[in-house]
Structures are given as structure tokens and as C-alpha cells.
Amino acid sequence: MPLVQAAQEAAANRSREREVRAVQIWLWIMAALVVAMIIVGGATRLTDSGLSITEWQPLLGVIPPLNEADWQEAFAKYQQIPQYQIVNKGMSLEEFKFIYWWEWGHRFLGRFIGVAFAIPFLLFWLRGRLPKGTVPKLAGILALGGLQGVVGWYMVKSGLVDRVDVSPYRLALHLVLALVILSAIVWMALSLAQAPEKIRLHTVTPGQKRLAFGVVGLVLLQSLLGAFVAGHNAGLTYNTWPLMDGKFIPNGLGTLSPWWLNIFENITTIQFNHRMVAYLLALVAVIQLVWTMKSADDESLVRSAGLLTLAVFAQAGLGIWTLLEVVPLWLGLAHQAGAAIVLILAVWHAYNVTRAAAEPGQALASSYSASPSIN
């Protein structure tokens, strides 16, 4: 009887492992889709396509123009907004179709991600396959996704009346919210990883934990600054490196009043800040790596810190290249994708650190279940 019971428990454990693994794979697919969404959003911005669809129709908007009359109607609506009247006057229908398809693709992908998240989530939940404690967290991510759709329209709406483009403030909000959603999905996927029966308790101090999360915050701050660079087309100016207009600290950093407006609306200050935070992020990443190498007693922490540092320097190099080439589309998109990759690695390292012990000198933890319990 004990042998039969043991076999049944082993089979049940294997079944739970497969169920948790399925949830984890779904979350990684969702993370990949969010990265794709961020890249497509970057293309929409770089091609000035975001205002080509002047209405928000959450359901009917999934259907693009199907015939010539539909295209003429959509084009006529676009011709009523300032971007066409001031910037794109005389645009042909074929040119309009080019920007329309970018914006339609961005919106369609957003809808697809919503469905691809909501339906599996509900199925996993109703079938009792979600580990305990994950349901409210996943529901929160789904709610953030719905909020992101509202923020996207809030952003587009800012460019339909008094502007020829969208508000940089709303663009920054839209991008940062996407990155927050990506971070949450990655963290959830990592938290479902099968734990080994025994883990080494790493020598990690509270200061190192704070630093790891500080790096995540710094990556988000740098992405926020990058959104303002994109929103003001600041990457089309000062296309030299390491100097700006022949100086490391250029003239014109504080010409607006009150002073804080320079952070968000002074093109010189916006690009300068983006450069400076890039240097700071690279320095902090190196400090984190060295500190981890000197104190951690497990190579997984060193690996995540090392890959993050490598990615930070690669992203900085890509940013410099993009600037020197005056932001061609493919380089701009690569730089946007690089930001998402850096964030994923920063979250990964922060997660690894939270799994480590705060107290040094301990050897092995006691054994625990390899699979999270299922509802």
C-alpha cells in the first residue's frame, strides 16, 4: 500500500508540474507579445502613424477598410486633423495607407494580447490549474492591460485637435505602463519556475537587494526619459557623441521657466538627461556586478548580474549608434527592443536576489516541494 500511495503521489506531483509549466509557458509567450507590442509602438511613433486612425472603436476597430470607399472615408477623417493640414498636406491615399496600417497593426496587436491573456487566464482559473495566490495578481495584470488600452486612446486624442503629434507626457505614460506590465508578467513567470529540492542560500545583503531593485527603477527612469526624447524628436538633434554642440555640458540646459519644465520640454535638457542617466545606469550595473562577484556564493546571481551589465552596455552602444545615424527606423526599433531586454534582465536579477538569503554563511536550505500548490 505505501508503494501504491507513493506512486500516486509521484504521479500527482508530475501532473501539477505539467500544469504549472503550462501556465509559465503561457506567461513567457505573453511577455514576448508585449515586447513585440513595444516594438510596433516604436515603429508607429517613428513613422508618425499614431494619428492616422482618428476614432476609438474597441470592437468594430478590428476591421480595417475593406474597399475603396472605406479608405476614402478613413482618409477624409484624417484630413480634418492638424497633422494632415499642417504637416502632411497633399499626402496621397497610398501614403496614408502606409501610416494607417502601422497604427491599425498596433491596435490589433493590443487587442490580440488582451484576448490571448484573458481567455487562457479564465480557462486556467476555472479548471483550477493556477497556483495559489496567483489569481489576484494575474487579474491585476489583466486590469493593467485594459487600462493601457484607455491610456493609448488618451494619448492619441491629445494629437487630434491642437497638436500635430501626440503629447510627450501621454506618450511617456503609455510606454512606461507597457514596461510595468512586462515587468509584472516576467516576475510572475519567474515565480512559477520549478524550484530544486535543495537550493544554496546565497550571501546577499539587504543593500544588494535594494540595489537590484534600484537598477530596475533606474531602467524604468531611463525608458521614461527615452519616451520624452521620442516625443520631442530630440534624437534628431545633437547627433554627435560624446559631446553636444562641441561641449560635454551644452549651453541651453535651463532656458525654460519654471526650471522643472526643462526636464520635460527643453530638447537640449531632455537629450542631455537621457545621456547622463545612461552613464549612471552603466556605472551602477558594473558596481552591482563587482559587488555580486565578490560576495555571492552561487554562480546564478553572478550570471544574471553579468548578463544585465552586458545588455546595459550593448544598449548604450546601440543608443549612440542610433543617435549618430539620426535615428533610422530599424535602429530606433532595435534601441526600443533593447530597452525591453534590459528591463527583463534587470527584473530577472532582482528576482534572483529576492530568492537569496539575507544572512551569509548558511549552506543548504531544507527540502521543499518542487511544485507550487494548485488551487
pTM of the model: 0.91
Q: Considering only 44-53, 181-190, 203-212, 259-268, which range has the smallest mean pLDDT?
A: 203-212
Convert the pLDDT of each residue in 312-328 to its tens digit.
999 999 999 999 999 99
pLDDT of residue 84: 96
Q: Is the pLDDT of residue 270 over 80?
A: yes
Cβ(40)–Cβ(105) below 8 Å: yes
Q: Where are the alpha helices (DSSP H) in 158-266?
A: 168-191, 206-231, 261-265
| DSSP 3-state of 186 | helix
- Cα 288 to Cα 65: distance, rounded to the nearest angstrom: 52
To the nearest whole number, what is the mean pLDDT of the chain? Answer: 89
Q: Write the DSSP symbol of residue 86.
A: I
Convert the pLDDT of each residue in 325-369 to its tens digit.
999 999 999 999 999 999 999 999 999 998 875 444 443 333 333
pLDDT of residue 79: 96
- Residue 182 makes CB contacts below 8 A (sequence gap 6+) with 31, 34, 35, 38, 340, 343, 344
Helix and strand counts by DSSP (H, E) for the chain: 11, 0
Cβ(288)–Cβ(212) below 8 Å: yes
Helix (H) or strand (E) holding 323: helix 299-324
pLDDT of residue 356: 76
Q: Looking only at Cα atoms, what is the longest distance across the chain?
A: 84
pLDDT of residue 196: 46
Cβ(374)–Cβ(130) below 8 Å: yes
Q: Is the pLDDT of residue 117 over 50?
A: yes
Cβ(349)–Cβ(209) below 8 Å: no
Return the higher-pLDDT residue of 98 and 196. Answer: 98
